[in-house]
Amino acid sequence: MRSVSFVSSCLAALSSFAAAELNLSQPLLSRQVLPSTFKPPQVFKNANLVRTTNLDKAYARETINVIIENIDSKPQAEYYLPFDASLISKVGGFEVKDKKVPEKGNFKVEIVEYDTESSTEFYLIHLPTPLAPKEQQTLSITYSILTSLFPVPASIGQSDKQYVQYTFSAYTPSAYNTEKQKTKIKFPNSDIPDYTSIPADLNADNKADPQKQGSTFTYGPYNDIPAGAEQSVSVRFEFTKPLTHASLLERDLEVSHWGGNLASEERYWLANKGASLKNHFSRVEWQKTSYLSPPTSALKALNLPLHPGALNPYFTDDIGNVSTSRFRPGKKEALLELKPRYPIFGGWKYSFRVGWDANLSTYLRKLQGDSYILKVPFLEGPRIAEGIEYARVNLRVILPEGATNVKYSTSVPIIASTTTLHKTFMDTVGRTTLSLSAINVVDDLRDRQLIVTYDYPWTAGFRKPIVITLGVFAVFAVVYVVGSLDTSIGKKKTA
């Protein structure tokens, strides 16, 4: 984790040379490093805490609704949430809102860590207004944990059901004493062969945990759990769906003022983290069952809902064009249906690229003077019921050559941003490129927008045709000069 912070601080230092622009959304670059003696000051208590873990998708989604109370004598605004160091690197989309006034927006959060080998790190939540003594506030904390489901058994037959295991603490990890808490786990179905039982004497209602209701389990309520207490619990449930994991997604958005076009290209490095095949892949068995389309742990198809008005899609991989795709343009959305060259079973990988065009008028508006504003989705990508997780997303917004004063704003937590130049067709100095990186992104963030403003003087727009014009005119001039040279041998004949 420390190397990540080192790299990000290097990036930040470099970016200040490349562009000293004001960026309105604050990337999570800053990482507070605390002394080894640090312990969160015990100024809060959790009066009531309800954690809901949703295991519908290929990653765990957690929502913690907690009533916090200031037990100090002064107003307090810093609330810490602890995570194990191995876990915090997999946490994505961490957002905190006031449960009662969610429209006020997300609170500022940052990661803080010890300066030692300690295994605990914290998310520090800044309350927008300090909480007065004895006052209470309800926080709604949501986040996803990537690569949190592991297949057990690790290898299965081609048509077998897949079971996955999820391990967590029955007591919600907290830096403060928790008076009352419980954890609800929502499974995708009620086939849950194994789970950890907790004796009834720990439960506040003297019931043996977990309490089952169909596909929902409840651990708790538990009373007066001290800060830092954990009780490890595992559940194993049926999940005969692919665990689709993108180790990297590179997404390019290219703005063309001359062509009135927004070109999008996405390059995926996918892997299925599900159970591997016990035997060799049998094409006969696959083909026999494919007409019934039973649930399978293999990834068969990906549907990309594009915005209406998408044009000229393409789908290629290392070999070349992949012909097993369909494009259905529509008024509500333009659906791009992709089928990889082979079904992607557990442990298998597939990398490919897709791209499409769109009219720029939907995405770009003109402001006063020579300024423009661009609003694009931060993430598009496949929409599949079981979800898809991205370990890293590198987004590049390639603006026209000569664009300056680039500012951006997005609600996706990003770790690095730089403004560089990108050289491609017909460029002389290169196009201004805004590069943004985000880690641990899940497909729940599909609807998040990225807004970019930039200045683009009309003179900069004429750079391309003028450069070509000057080049061609130079050829004419050379032809004229060379043609008018007298290269004949001997005396000049006079008339």
Partner 1 sequence: MSSPLLDVWDAASASPYNPSVGKGVQFTLGFALLFTSLVLSTIFGLNRSFVTLSVLGIPASLAFGFGAVYMICAVGVYV
Kindly list the residues in this chain that would bind partner 1 in the complex (CB under 8 A).
Answer: 24-25, 103, 105-106, 254, 256-261, 263, 312, 357, 359-362, 364-367, 372-373, 375, 407-409, 411, 424-427, 449, 451, 453, 464-470, 472-473, 476-477, 479-480, 483-484
For residue 21, the minimal CB distance to partner 1 (Å) is 13
Smallest separation, CB 451 to partner 1 (Å): 4
Q: In 10 A of CB 401, how many CB atoms? A: 22
Residue closer to partner 1 (CB basis): 20 or 101: 101
Strands 244-256 and 389-401: parallel
54: its two tokens: 């949703």
Residue 154 CB, nearest distance to partner 1 (Å)? 42
| Other CB atoms within 10 A of residue 486 CB | 5
Half-sphere exposure of 124 (CA within 13 A, CB side): 18
What stretch of H or E contains 114? strand 108-114
The least CB distance from residue 483 to partner 1, in Å, is 5
Q: How far apart (Å, rounded) are the C-alpha atoms in residues 59 and 262?
A: 32
Least Å from the CB of residue 266 to partner 1: 17
Identify any residues that bridge with 33 across adjacent strands, giving them in sequence order: 113
Are 279 and 158 in contact by the 8 Å Cβ rule? The answer is yes
CB nearer to partner 1: give 106 or 218: 106
Q: What is the dihedral of CA 412, 350, 291, 243, to 10 degrees?
A: -50
Q: How far is the CB of 373 from partner 1 (least distance, A)?
A: 5
- Rounded CA-CA distance 64/82 in Å is 13
Residue among 146 and 445 whose Cβ is closer to partner 1: 445
Task: Give the three-state DSSP class for 375.
Answer: strand
CB 300 within 8 A of CB 179: no
| HSE (side-chain half, CA atoms, 13 Å) at 390 | 27
The least CB distance from residue 376 to partner 1, in Å, is: 11
Both tokens of 285, joined, read 């068995």
Nearest to 231 by CA among 211, 209, 216, 214: 209
Structure tokens at 441: 């992104």
The residue among 129 and 293 lying less far from partner 1, judged by its C-beta, is: 129
Q: Which is nearer to partner 1, 87 or 364 (CB)?
A: 364
Minimum separation from the CB atom of position 56 to partner 1 (A): 25
Q: Is the CB of 105 or the CB of 294 nearer to partner 1?
A: 105
Q: Which residue, 143 or 222, is less far from partner 1 as judged by CB?
A: 143
